A and B are shown apart, each in its own frame.
Chain A
Amino acid sequence: MSSFRPGVFNTLVRQDIYYSLKSARGLLFLVFFSVFWLWVLWKLSSGNAKMLSNAETGFILSLFIDPKVIQSLFVGRAPTFSAYFYLAMSSVPMFVLLAASDQTANDIGSKYLRFLTPRCNRLEIFVGRFFGATILISFAYILVTIIAALISMAVDNNGVSLVLADLPLVLVSLVLYLIPFVAFMSLCSVIVGSAGLSALMGVSVYVVMLVIISVIGIKSKDFAEVISYIIPNSTKFQYLQLSWVKMMGASLLVPIYVVAYGLLGWMIFSKRDI
């Protein structure tokens, strides 16, 4: 039996974020994240992304990216900000699988949870860690998005108005897109006893699923599309079209992913030895 106390939950989330900023795992994520985005933003600040608005470049891009996405992102929008958005969405799985890998894993391995369980319920710990990871990663992406927006305003033609129009949608899309990945890592994190193993497990399952979906796609595209909904990046296409309607449609799947991964994770965590 578990009851949920908001006060304890808030304290747990606050403490988890505080620990993330003090711990090796949190710092490792922030260093990787910062170095990657410093490099990308420095490249974007040259204004080269404006080339992506050209028809010729768009044609070449369409060989690799869905033409609908190219049209939505690079026609009538700030190209630097759109390029950032595309890269940000593509980087979400990589960074979230790394940053959210240690929601409970290391604390199971080190038995630190034994100091917590006399004071809080397992449900409060499980949900608290999920929220802590979500807030940390969301905050990191929001910060980088704001910097990218400022760069785009400076380098793109009509940048200010175009970026201001897209900024809320980009922020909401990024945060909504990353939440199911955090939930997926909640599940991986309760199975093993170290953050490294948890990350390895998350990446392995994710990559294996991508390969399986691709192989199935060769035989049957429709079936592959259905199967692809097992992993959260199936909604990426909708978010990338940068439309409130598409975004809201994709967002309907967020609670389903969170409940599905979360329930599986909770079923394991509530019964496992710690």
Chain B
Amino acid sequence: MSENIIETNGLAKSFGNQWALYNINVNVKKDITTGLVGPNGAGKTTLFSLFCGFLKPTKGSVKILNHEPDHPLLRGRISILPQDASLLKTIPVGKQLTMFAELQGFKKRLAVEEAERVLEMVNLSSSRHKTADQLSHGMLKRIAIAQAFIGTPDLILLDEPTAGLDPGTTDNIKSVIRSLSKNTSIIITSHNLEVIEDLCQQVIILKEGRLHSDEKVSDLTARTKALTFRLEQDADNSIRSVLKALDIVTEVKLGKPGQHRLVVHYSSDAGQMAEIEIIKCLAENNIPYREMIRGERLQESVTDRLG
């Protein structure tokens, strides 16, 4: 039995003359949570849709749990949160979840209970009798997430699970995903790299329709000794030379305009005083910051890699 839950071989997809994905060879490991990231147009949703069988490959192949995406043996073993699919407008959402559960093999009474359970998970039990038209965008998103939690799938694929959700609900969804990840392999696509960093062990980075890298999140976030600052305002380039004047500093990265970000890498043999020296240097040069974290965040690491 393969250790990979998804394997692709020369996978490519074109829409007309435009290649959305080209020659993707990637293995997604079992029993972990994997993030799929990249800028707009990188091909995340296309790759996700190929994993799910929504789209058919133009070239190459994809295997999910050792089967093609449409294979009958996969029914009930994978759950999917599609990004832009709409629920039926005239049937109460609780009833729709019951219908999904029935299609997954639950008997009528158990299907009703399963729908209740997943609605409870996303804190929407009270909305089960409402139709899609009566719910907000965020609530519909949570209903769509709830349908992906029906049953006991081996693999859950979530396309932008926290997009459009308020911070409190995002935390709730993250906590549910975290608890499910103990028993299930999960793949998440998201623009929110904080979500990916919080939930994923592995990250696949796409750029312009090609596989950019496939690495452990821990490698991306703790590769070097670094401090990441969120500044009050964007720093100008002079800070680079000021910080580089310190013997311990090996690299200084400034965020793009508007990001208010500064990442300072220091040498691995620097002592414990290194962090204090860097903070002192910022204070002496009158550069206030709102937040400091040890290491480099996934956000910075990925942004840096994608140029």
Q: At the interface with chain A, which of B87-95, B251-259, B275-283?
A: B87-95
Chain A residues with a Cβ under 8 A of chain B: 1-3, 5, 7-8, 11-12, 15, 18-19, 22-24, 110-122, 271-274
Select one of A1, A12, A23 contacting B88, CB under 8 A: A23
A271 and B102 alpha carbons, distance in the complex (Å): 26
Chain B residues with a Cβ under 8 A of chain A: 49, 52-56, 68, 70-72, 74-76, 78-80, 82, 84-91, 99-100, 102-105, 144, 147
Tell whether, in the assembled complex, residue B87 and residue A120 are in contact, meaning their CB atoms are under 8 Å apart: no
Tell whether, in the assembled complex, residue A114 and residue B52 are in contact, meaning their CB atoms are under 8 Å apart: yes
Tell whether, in the assembled complex, residue A273 and residue B54 are in contact, meaning their CB atoms are under 8 Å apart: yes
Contacts of B84 in A (CB 8 A): 111
Tell whether, in the assembled complex, residue A22 and residue B79 are in contact, meaning their CB atoms are under 8 Å apart: no
Residue of A5, A18, A23, A119 with most chain B CB atoms under a 10 A cut-off: A119
Select one of B71, B76, B82 contacting A119, CB under 8 A: B76
Tell whether, in the assembled complex, residue A111 and residue B82 are in contact, meaning their CB atoms are under 8 Å apart: yes
Contacts of A119 in B (CB 8 A): 75-76, 100, 103-104
Contacts of B91 in A (CB 8 A): 18-19, 22
Tell whether, in the assembled complex, residue A112 and residue B88 are in contact, meaning their CB atoms are under 8 Å apart: yes
A274 and B55 alpha carbons, distance in the complex (Å): 6
- Other than the given A112-B85, A114-B82, A119-B100, 14 more pairs (CB < 8 A) read A8-B75, A15-B103, A18-B91, A24-B90, A110-B86, A111-B84, A112-B88, A114-B80, A117-B80, A118-B78, A119-B75, A119-B76, A271-B56, A273-B49
**B271 to A: closest C-beta gap in Å:** 54
Tell whether, in the assembled complex, residue A118 and residue B55 are in contact, meaning their CB atoms are under 8 Å apart: no
**A122 to B: closest C-beta gap in Å:** 7
**A182 to B: closest C-beta gap in Å:** 21
A24 and B78 alpha carbons, distance in the complex (Å): 32
Contacts of B56 in A (CB 8 A): 271-273
A4 and B80 alpha carbons, distance in the complex (Å): 21
Tell whether, in the assembled complex, residue A115 and residue B147 are in contact, meaning their CB atoms are under 8 Å apart: yes
**B55 to A: closest C-beta gap in Å:** 5
**B172 to A: closest C-beta gap in Å:** 22
The number of inter-chain residue pairs (CB within 8 angstroms) is 84
CB-CB under 8 A for A112 and B72, given A11-B103, A271-B56: no
Tell whether, in the assembled complex, residue B103 and residue A112 are in contact, meaning their CB atoms are under 8 Å apart: no
A5 and B79 alpha carbons, distance in the complex (Å): 19
Q: Give 20 pairs: A residue, B residue, CB < 8 Å, sorted on A.
A: A1-B72, A5-B72, A8-B105, A12-B103, A15-B102, A22-B90, A23-B88, A110-B85, A111-B54, A111-B85, A114-B54, A114-B85, A118-B76, A118-B79, A119-B76, A119-B100, A119-B103, A119-B104, A122-B70, A273-B54
**A269 to B: closest C-beta gap in Å:** 12
Question: From B95, which residue of chain A is reached at the shortest CB distance?
Answer: A18
Tell whether, in the assembled complex, residue A115 and residue B75 are in contact, meaning their CB atoms are under 8 Å apart: no
A14 and B156 alpha carbons, distance in the complex (Å): 27
A19 and B79 alpha carbons, distance in the complex (Å): 23
**A121 to B: closest C-beta gap in Å:** 6
Residue of B55, B80, B84, B88 with most chain A CB atoms under a 10 A cut-off: B88
A121 and B68 alpha carbons, distance in the complex (Å): 12
A120 and B76 alpha carbons, distance in the complex (Å): 9
Contacts of A111 in B (CB 8 A): 54, 82, 84-86
A247 and B87 alpha carbons, distance in the complex (Å): 43
CB-CB under 8 A for A118 and B72, given A19-B91, A22-B90, A24-B90: no
A88 and B73 alpha carbons, distance in the complex (Å): 45
A15 and B76 alpha carbons, distance in the complex (Å): 18
Contacts of B49 in A (CB 8 A): 273
A274 and B79 alpha carbons, distance in the complex (Å): 16
Contacts of A12 in B (CB 8 A): 103
Select one of A11, A24, A112, A121 contacting B102, CB under 8 A: A11
A116 and B52 alpha carbons, distance in the complex (Å): 11
Tell whether, in the assembled complex, residue A115 and residue B82 are in contact, meaning their CB atoms are under 8 Å apart: yes
Select one of B52, B86, B104 contacting A117, CB under 8 A: B52
